[in-house]
Structure formats: structure tokens, C-alpha cells
Amino acid sequence: MWRPGPVLAVCLSVLSAAPAANVPERPPKATANIERIAASNIAIELMDFITIPPSSTEAPLARINYLYHAGDGSGRLFVNDMRGKIYIIRKGVLLSVPFLDVAQVRALYYLADDEEHGLVTFAFHPDFGKKGTTGYGKFYTIHSERGTPKAGANVPVFGTSERATDHYEIVTEWSVDPKNSDRIDPTSARELLRLEAPRHDHAGGQLGFDTSAVRGSADYGLLYISLGDGGNTVSQRGEADAYRLAQNMMSPFGKILRIDPRPGSRSRYAIPRSNPFINRTGYLPEIWAAGLRNPERFSWDTAGERKMLIADIGQASIEEIDLGRAGANFGWSIFEGNFLVDHKNELNLALSTKGTTTRAYVFPVAVYGHEDGFAITGGFVYRGKYLTQLIGKYIFGDIVTGDIFFADAGSLESGTPTKIFRVKLFYHGHETTMRDGVLGRSGRADLRLGLGEDDEIYVLTKEDGAIRRLGMHQKER
């Protein structure tokens, strides 16, 4: 989770060829000089859309965490409440019966008592709507459990044997009800893998398929799984990242995994031959990229250079988004962004040196610091038709403040620092802020972004359980 800290920055970075073997020498201390997010003249309007049924009488009213589409031409939107339910929105109307209620299916074990526990995210197989294919009707979730029974036969369990297990994160495949495309068959659950999380936070992240991949390409139908580093250990141990799991290549934590969810010969899934560490001793073959702290979101641009962008929440100072490539090591917790980490003092960062000591790591391509926000939430490169001035821009935001930012997607390259801009936000015709003017409170906005099948972007706020659409402000149209 985010922790308030001094001003530094959010970084966007590019993946390199392999993880590092040695910790570089610490350079002399240096004062960070991070460029602030700039104001822009682009104004966007938040338009009320739908409020999800409350699952609590207190804020957050509905822990809506992700909104996406099935890619099946139906135009339906799907949104999850982390307390267990996934809802369908069809033509602006919320269907009364959930698509799936994981909490009900797993009633004896389901865990949603913490802001990072619960039904975290979901993903549709790219062949979800294509009858006659192995991916037809297949749907994937990652959710939290405690006191869970033993895994079934051939279900891989990834743990940290030297530490007690706080809870489990479970990746599950489901099948749509053959008689009703608006329901998942609750008896169809097939566990793919389990993760033994050592702490309550920084465990399950996002599931996703490469939306830029076309049928027949090497990446088509492969499931990406982002995982945090196992927990923020400062309050417990007085040390930043005491577990060092993000640089432990036999641990799945602090990584992005990539699997073929179709059953393998000896497991619940297969490992793609093109994974970067599949035949490398001392590495989990499922690992696709490493060195991440809390990569809650990633997405692919569906046009242009079809880049993969990974939003990684920082420790005390830096929020970053990385440009994804197989085999990259983003450096956490040797680095936070492009600054060396002092594990005994999370506020003490030093500028990294250039040369051989940093060659094995990949550094951000754009950054913002904690004067501009405290926890990044990833978004999407805009390819819709209504936000004309933002076409080709990567739109993302800050979970805590609720501010919405953008950066030019074409400029997000290694060695080219990309400037970040803040949009002007209007609601009911008046310029405002998400927390004070929209939510009516100065606390945590709990902002997330979603995407419809028409490539239009939606804004989710857990505090009020509301979904709003993004449109150009009237004066900008």
C-alpha cells in the first residue's frame, strides 16, 4: 500500500533483457529534483452513469475495483465489488442478478476483511464469445481466502516456506452457463494456482490477456498475472521490503507471471515456450517480468506501437508505470523508480549511478512524486471517439487524490523522460476535484479506471460505489 512521503516522482519504465545478479554500489547522496505534474488546458467532464448496490452501510459503500468488457460484441460492461460479486451493465442498465458471486460459491473460506482482500480482478479469454474454440465462455478471477482447504490435484501452490501464510490468493477459471450468457456456472470453478501471501497486502493484482495480440500470434490466449511483493514491512519490521521477494526469482511475488491457462500435461496450465526464464536454473518458468512492488494494473495499447503499460505503486516517494517487455527487471527494492533504496530509512533515496551497476535494470520513462499524489492507478491509452484531444494519450490517475493524468503514449520510451499532465476536471458543469467536489469529502478517493468495448473510459470510486463516464467538457467539444 501507499505510504505518505516526501516529494519525489512517478516513473514510467521499459523492461530489459534479464534480472540483475548483484546489488550495485551505493552512490553519494543526492537531492532528488523531480519534475512536477503540469496543468493542462484539456478539460474533461465526469458524467453520472451507474451506482453499484451497496455491500456496506459505511464507506466504502461498494468496493468496485475493476470494470471491463467481454470483447464478444455484446457491449456489456462487467464490474466487480471486491466483497464478492461481479455485475453486468447492459445498455446503461444494471442487471439485478450478478454474473458471478464468488463469496457465495466460496462462502466458508472467502476473505474480504481488508482493503486489498477479496475478489481483486477478472479477465475474459479473448475467445470468450467464439463458439467452437477452447476459450469459449472461459472467465478468470483472482480472489482471497483464509483457512482454505488443500488445493486439488495438480494445482501449483507458490509459497514462502520460511514465513507463515497470512492468506491465499487463488486464480480460478470459470465457464459461462451454456443456457444463459449472463451467468457463470458456479459449479464450473477450476483452480489454476494458489499463492501463499506472507502479509495482508501486496499480493493479488490484475489478470489480463494481451488485447493487442491477434489470433495465431505467440501471445494470443496467454494469461498475465501481476503480483505484489508480499507486503509493506515498514510498520512491522522497521525496514522497507524486508522479504526481498521481488528479486527472488524462485518466488512469484513482485512479478508478472504469464501462463497458458489451458491444462498442461502435468498441471492445471501450460507454460509458454516463449517465457524468458523457462529453461533457466533458479527461476520460476512462469515469470515474465520481475522487480515490481505493487503492480495493480496493466494494459495494452490497441493501436500505435501496441505498448504494454504497467502501473506500479511506490513505497514512500515514487509512483511509476513501466513499459512491459519480456524478461525485464524493474529494480524494486534495490531501486524505487531510478533512486537507490535505503531499506532502513524509506525516505532516504539517492540518485542511481549510470554504467555497469545499473545495466541489468530497467528504469521508468515518466514519474510523479508525492506532492502530486500517493498511489498510482493504471489506465488505458485512449482510442475512443469522444475525447478527441486525448487520442493516443495514456490516461491514468491517483488512487488517493482522485486526480486524472495523461502522458503521450508515443513518447513512453526508455531514456526519454515523458512529461505528465493533469486534466481539468468538471462535474455537473463546474470545475472541481474528485474528493471535494465529487465525493464531498477530503479523504481517500479510491479511484480506479475501466474500459468499455467502445474504448471509452469509466471512472470508479469505491467510497460511494459510483461509476461515471469520461467525456469532453462542453466548452472543449
Query: What is the pLDDT, as a whole number, of residue 8?
Result: 39
Domain count along the chain: 1
Match 474454440 to its residue by C-alpha cell: 133
Question: Is 88 within a domain?
Answer: yes
Query: What is the pLDDT, as a whole number, of residue 180?
Result: 98
Question: Is 29 within a domain?
Answer: yes
Domain span holding position 327: 11-476
Burial grade of 472 (CB within 10 A; 0-12, 13-18, 19 or more): middle
Neighbours of 431 (CB within 10 A): 11
Query: What is the pLDDT, as a whole number, of residue 164?
Result: 87
Question: Is 392 within a domain?
Answer: yes
Query: What is the pLDDT, as a whole number, of residue 366?
Result: 87
One DSSP character per residue, 368-423 reads: EETTS-SSEEEEEE---SS-GGGTTEEEEEETTT--EEEEEGGG-BTTBPPP-EEE
One DSSP character per residue, 128-165 reads: TT-TTSTTTTEEEEEEEESSPPPP-TT--EE--TTS--
Question: Is 76 within a domain?
Answer: yes
Contact indicator for 312, 291 with CB cutoff of 8 Å: no
Where residue 422 sits, what CATH number does that domain have?
2.120.10.30
| Distance of alpha carbon 249 from alpha carbon 52, whole angstroms | 40
Query: What is the pLDDT, as a whole number, of residue 16?
Result: 41
**Partners of 317 in the β-ladder:** none
Burial letters for 62-100: b for 16+ Cβ neighbours within 10 Å, e otherwise?
bbbbbbbbbbbebebbbbbbbbbbbbbbeeeebeeebbb
Question: Is 2 within a domain?
Answer: no
Question: Is 3 within a domain?
Answer: no
- Show pLDDT as tens, one digit a residue, over the chain (477 residues): 443 333 334 444 444 444 444 444 443 344 456 889 999 999 999 999 999 999 999 989 999 999 999 999 999 999 999 999 999 999 999 999 999 999 999 999 999 998 899 999 999 999 999 999 999 999 999 999 999 899 989 999 998 766 789 999 999 999 999 999 999 999 999 999 999 999 999 999 999 999 999 999 999 999 999 999 999 999 988 999 999 999 999 999 999 999 999 998 788 999 999 999 999 999 999 999 999 999 999 999 999 999 999 999 999 999 999 999 999 999 999 999 989 999 999 999 887 655 445 778 999 988 999 999 999 999 999 999 999 999 999 999 999 999 999 999 999 987 677 999 999 999 999 999 999 899 998 788 999 999 999 999 999 999 999 999 999 987 644
Q: Is the dihedral of CA 124, 127, 129, 132 positive or negative?
A: negative
Question: Is 6 within a domain?
Answer: no
Nearest residue to 255 via CA among 282, 285, 228, 219: 228
Question: Is 4 within a domain?
Answer: no
Burial grade of 333 (CB within 10 A; 0-12, 13-18, 19 or more): buried
